[in-house]
Amino acid sequence: MEIKTAAAALSALGHASRLAVFRALVQAGPAGLAAGKVGEVTGIAPSSLSFHFKELAHAGLVSARQEGRYVIYAAQFEVMNGLLAYLTENCCGGNPCLPMSDPVCGGVSSPVTTGSGPE
Amino acid sequence: MEIKTAAAALSALGHASRLAVFRALVQAGPAGLAAGKVGEVTGIAPSSLSFHFKELAHAGLVSARQEGRYVIYAAQFEVMNGLLAYLTENCCGGNPCLPMSDPVCGGVSSPVTTGSGPE
DNA sequence: TCAATATTTAAATAATACTTGAAATATGGA
DNA sequence: TCCATATTTCAAGTATTATTTAAATATTGA
């Protein structure tokens, strides 16, 4: 993962509304939630919610699919796992201080550098 | 962890310069690095670096200690672990899809809610 | 005390992000 | 076709955040 990609994802999560949206989707699991349901749970107005969904999707953290007249959003667990791995990567100079984080909800597909990758 | 705390930490990490600084400190381990050394590694100008350190410190992600004429910054691993736990918390509605992430570089001290905590 | 090194602060400018409300688009069913 | 529901887009105003330069503070050692 490139640092710009990771920073974009973290920046997307660095806002209370988007973080609440993302957590709702993480808790919903891969099946996802309709946009309206997320708005209901978080109390965010539709147009604002749409704006934040777009930000999260642009960062690769959520995906959208149309289902009838609903749009279902789901967390992208692989991207999230890649991000967590990037943050803890090469922790303490590579001397294993503790077991590395295990991925959540499926394996990691994003390639992960070892600290001196392309940046 | 409260959502505002988590969002502030993620926002602090959501900037390429600060992310580079934080990763350098994560890789340095608990012993930390002098501010100047971080500037050397990341190529960030001193005053800009100081600004970004302050942001990271304000979010609780790094600590500073004076050592002679150097200021040594270190990643706050416990806060980082609390943040990672918060992001993956109650994943998939609590149905364990995979083992939850293990903390890195020491245990988690921050209290962690189970999804319906104070927000 | 003086000079050098290390880091922070302040002030100014530039750029970006967020919210709101109204209008637009698309789907499903009577 | 017509209406109700679901979601997005657009435009305007407000607020927040980033970067730079110069000056200030603090520590060390001669």
Tens digits of residue pLDDT in A47-57: 999 999 999 99
Does residue B18 sit in helix, strand or coil? helix
User: Does residue B22 lie within any of the structural domains?
Assistant: yes
Residue B94 has a pLDDT of: 84
Q: Are A110 and A117 in contact (CB under 8 A)?
A: no
Q: What angle do CA B87, A77, A35 make, to 5 degrees?
A: 85
User: Does residue A14 lie within any of the structural domains?
Assistant: yes
B11:A14 CB<8 A: yes
Angle between helices A3-13 and A77-88 (to 10 degrees): 110
Residue A79 has a pLDDT of: 95
Nearest Cβ partner of A13 from B10, B93, B99?
B10
Residue B119 has a pLDDT of: 36
> Which of B53, B17, B19 minimizes the C-alpha distance to B33?
B53
Please check whether strand D approaches the CB of B70 to within 7 Å: no
Residue B105 has a pLDDT of: 79
User: Does residue A98 lie within any of the structural domains?
Assistant: no
The count of structural domains within chain B is 1
CA distance B69 to B59: 25
Residue B107 has a pLDDT of: 60
Q: Which of residues 69-88 of B touch strand C (CB under 7 A)?
A: 69-71
A16:B28 CB<8 A: no
What does the block give as tokens for A22? 């993302």
Residue B86 has a pLDDT of: 95
User: Does residue B73 lie within any of the structural domains?
Assistant: yes
Nucleotides of C under 7 A from a protein CB: 5-10, 17-23, 26-28
* Residue pLDDT, tens place only, A36-45: 999 999 999 9
* Residue pLDDT, tens place only, B52-77: 999 999 999 999 999 999 999 999 99
* Residue pLDDT, tens place only, B5-40: 999 999 999 999 999 999 999 999 999 999 999 999
Residue B113: pLDDT over 70: no
> Which of B87, B79, B86 minimizes the C-alpha distance to B107?
B79
Q: What percent of chain B clears pLDDT 90, i.e. is strictly above it?
A: 71
* Residue pLDDT, tens place only, A63-109: 999 999 999 999 999 999 999 999 999 899 887 665 566 788 866 54
Confidence of residue A115 (pLDDT cuts 50, 70, 90): very low
User: Does residue B18 lie within any of the structural domains?
Assistant: yes
Please check whether strand C approaches the CB of A65 to within 7 Å: no
Give the burial string for B87-114 (b: 16+ CB within 10 Å, else e).
Answer: bbbebbeeeebbeebbbbbeebebeeee
CATH number at residue A26: 1.10.10.10
Residue B7 has a pLDDT of: 96
Residue A15: pLDDT over 60: yes
Chain A interface test: which of B88, B97, B100 (most A C-beta within 10 Å): B88
Nucleotides of D under 7 A from a protein CB: 5-11, 17-23, 26-28
Which residue is closest to A105 within chain B, CA to CA? B97
Which residue stretches of chain B are H helix? 3-13, 16-28, 35-42, 46-58, 77-88
| Residue A100 backbone dihedrals phi, psi, to 5 degrees | -70, 155
CA distance B18 to B26: 12
What is the number of CB-based contacts under 8 A between chain A and chain B? Answer: 144
pTM: 0.88
Residue A116 has a pLDDT of: 39
Please check whether strand D approaches the CB of B109 to within 7 Å: no
Question: Which three-class secondary structure string do you get for A85-99?
Answer: HHHHCCHHHHCCCCC
A91:B29 CB<8 A: yes
SS3 content of chain B, % helix, strand, coil (to 5): 50, 10, 35
Residue A98 has a pLDDT of: 55
User: Does residue B11 lie within any of the structural domains?
Assistant: yes
> Which of B70, B55, B69, B71 minimizes the C-alpha distance to B21?
B55
Please check whether strand C approaches the CB of B51 to within 7 Å: yes
Enclosing domain of residue B41: 3-77
Residue type for B85, please?
A
**Phi-psi sector, B94: left (phi>0), alpha (psi -120 to 50), beta:** left
User: Does residue B42 lie within any of the structural domains?
Assistant: yes
